[in-house]
A and B are shown apart, each in its own frame.
Chain A
Amino acid sequence: MEMAAQMTINALSLSALYVLVALGFALLLNVMNTLNFAHGAIYMVGGYICCELSDALGLNQWVSLAASALGVGLFGLFLEKYCFRPFYGDISRIVVMSVIIILVLETTANVTMGTDEKRIPSFVEGIIRAGGMSVTADRMVTILVSTLLVIGLSWFIRRSRLGQQMMAVAQEPKGATLQGISTNRVSAFACVLGCGLAAVAGSLMGAILVLSPFMGDYMLVKAIQLVILSGIGSLAGILVSGLIIGALDAVLPVVTSGAVTQTVGIGVIILLLLLRPRGLFGREV
């Protein structure tokens, strides 16, 4: 019973981590039809910026998180204008550009951040224990932040003017232009938001896990899994696919062992996609 309760909270916690990372990636894919493989590297940079602001300047972690999100979001403006916009519609060039960005960011971090792993001090101290399970306050905050962000982003996209413009651009860019929507402005905003979300994820992860120049690689794979499983066009679906993958990653290591865990996990995802190729909530492309 105790183990089941602990596995449940582990699953929720892992799901929240993955959803937080995948959100920005999904936003760029759904709105800009852009596969931003550099999302993992941007997430890593966000974490390091938060850590350095906390360590070097002695800023409060929350202030550092906000500053990191803002800074990395503005970096997203640069990325959209000079790295993605010239290649819209050309997926192979966008992929190559993403790889270049990954190499530059990871190598820079590897060279400048030293050899020791770092952690960001806890955002909220303490451990919550109840009914045989334990969870740190940081993980509860991550669960809360993930859920709020998914709900908030979904609401923003459906209800706000800018959000609806994003949907229009995602569905039919030429038609959106004819309606007087500036696709460049919408794409820029989506990129700023996507990068900002990556920075939030990196900062929270830096307190729960550990920072390293290559921490984004693993999370990028998870983000791609979540997005593929949820399907293109569905942001709320990220929450469900996050729960599925988080549950697999929390339960399988306990009932199996080692590398088998990953194989079984991928096998389940493939099976689900075979049953529903467009993803659980995806639209036709």
Chain B
Amino acid sequence: MKNRRILLTVLVSVVMIALTAVGPASTHGQTPKKLQIGFITSMTGFGSHQMKSFPQGAELCADWLNGKGGINIKGQTYQVEIVVQDDKGTAEGAASAANRLVNEDGIKFIVGGIPVFGVIAINSITEPAKIIHVSLWNNTMPDEFGPKTPYTFLTHISTLGGMESALDWLKEKYPNVKNVVGIMVDDGAAPTIGQLVSNQLQKRGLSLKGDLVRWPPDTVDFSPIATKAIQRKADAICWLNGWTEGLFIKAVRDQGYKGLIMSTTFTEPAITMEMAGKPASTDWFANGIVAGAPQNPPMVQMVEKMAQAKYPPVRNYQFEMFQAVWSLTQAIQSAQSLDTTAVKNAWEKMDAFETVFGPGGMGGEKTFGIKHAIVYPAALYGLENGQIKFLKWQKVTIP
């Protein structure tokens, strides 16, 4: 009896070990592994009311890639997993989040950083450790992105791309506009952005009227800023960056200004109109994707459907974060390696990229001193008589 029990136990153990060794069904007879991608965003603190939803786009990309079988690297399949960390809206928080991902979780690929202090803080951890950092925005500050940050890549056409697309549209559609007054948040980047916009305007035979009108980051009432902007009597008002353009539009229109207001940055059409109010939402254009526009590329339409199903309402940041993760995984697949130096080298050699927004490429050699910026078309939209209107998909080059 006792011998029978021992025999049964041994038999069950052997069967269980055999089953564990075989594992679940997998491609090429191997179990899929996980490719963890860190995502740093503000889940609390400054900017969190918007940025806490940024991981949605990354999650959508992960779902899409995993649904197609994951990423294949030398015969091994990897399922993408997004690991989110909170930067608490501060530089210290961003550094701490990066530190946790790199040194505690052992993650080698990080997506994150929009405000300049966040990008620089993440770089301070990722660059010495040779971790690939996909930056989500460029504020044109020297320490943010360039030869000193060889493991950082930029997947958003950002300030410069936005300027190019919006100013080309201005030149094409508003030939009577010869000068603009520039409005921007006083976040330390004003001297560099001021110079940049001045150069971009001059390239197109236009000019900046007076110095930039700068507003403190915690401004809630834009009436005084609107008064100052209107008083400059420029041909148009140009909102350069910041996140409260709707309030500014309303303040300007409330004071009787009927001219053109434009933006070179990327804004959310529905939110801009919500903040400005329908009566003020006219004679405005900016960079931004109009959800549902038939002119949108197939990938935009696909991501839109996914976002509508999983994370409604559809917002532009979902496309941008999808793009960030997709770019990174394309580079990893091109390298056929998870070694970060191999991925960096492969990424630098890629001239063409598939992007959510259409055919893309790499640029930035002349502008940033390093060819680490993905370039793709920008969508322009307008607000006319309280309606959102698709304008154009505009080609962008970042030399």
Binding site for B on A (CB under 8 A): 3, 6-7, 10, 13-14, 17, 107, 110, 113, 115-119, 122, 127, 129, 134-136, 208-210, 212-215, 218-219, 249-254, 257-259, 261-262
Contact = CB atoms under 8 A, between A and B. Distances in A.
5 contacts: A3-B227, A110-B52, A122-B277, A209-B220, A210-B246
Contact of A115 (B50, B214, B224, B254): B50
A10 B231 CA distance: 14
A136 B255 CA distance: 9
B49 interface: yes
A34 B295 CA distance: 59
B256 A129 contact: yes
A210 B227 contact: no
Contacts of A214: 46, 49
A14 B274 contact: no
A47 B368 CA distance: 45
Contacts of B270: 116
Nearest to A265: B216
Interface of B: 44, 46, 48-50, 52-53, 186, 190, 211-216, 218-221, 223-225, 227-228, 231, 244, 246-247, 254-256, 270-271, 274-275, 277, 313, 315
B337 to A, nearest CB: 36
A115 B254 CA distance: 26
Given A6-B227, A134-B254, A257 B214 contact: yes
A113 to B, nearest CB: 8
A6 B220 contact: no
Contacts of B48: 110
Contacts of B244: 210
Given A115-B52, A251-B224, A259-B216, A209 B186 contact: no
B44 A107 contact: yes
Contacts of B224: 7, 10, 14, 249-254
Given A115-B49, A116-B274, A254-B228, A110 B44 contact: yes
A218 B218 contact: yes
B48 to A, nearest CB: 6
Nearest to A252: B224
A68 to B, nearest CB: 19
Given A110-B52, A213-B49, A258 B227 contact: no
Nearest to A217: B218
B220 A117 contact: no
B271 A259 contact: no
Given A110-B44, A258-B186, A117 B227 contact: no
Contact of A258 (B49, B50, B216): B216
Contacts of A107: 44
Contacts of B46: 214
Contacts of B256: 127, 129, 134
Contact of B213 (A135, A136, A257, A259): A257
A36 B396 CA distance: 52
B49 A257 contact: no
Nearest to B253: A127
B231 A3 contact: yes
Given A115-B53, A134-B254, A257-B186, A210 B247 contact: yes
A252 B220 CA distance: 15
Contacts of B50: 115
A117 B223 contact: no
A258 B224 CA distance: 12
B292 to A, nearest CB: 17
B254 A136 contact: yes
B275 A210 contact: yes
A261 B254 contact: no
A214 B51 CA distance: 14
Nearest to B274: A119
A127 B254 contact: yes
A119 B278 CA distance: 12
B228 A253 contact: yes
Given A117-B271, A261-B216, 8 more contacts: A3-B231, A13-B223, A110-B52, A118-B274, A129-B256, A253-B219, A254-B224, A259-B216
A62 B52 CA distance: 32
Nearest to B214: A258
Contacts of B275: 117, 119, 210
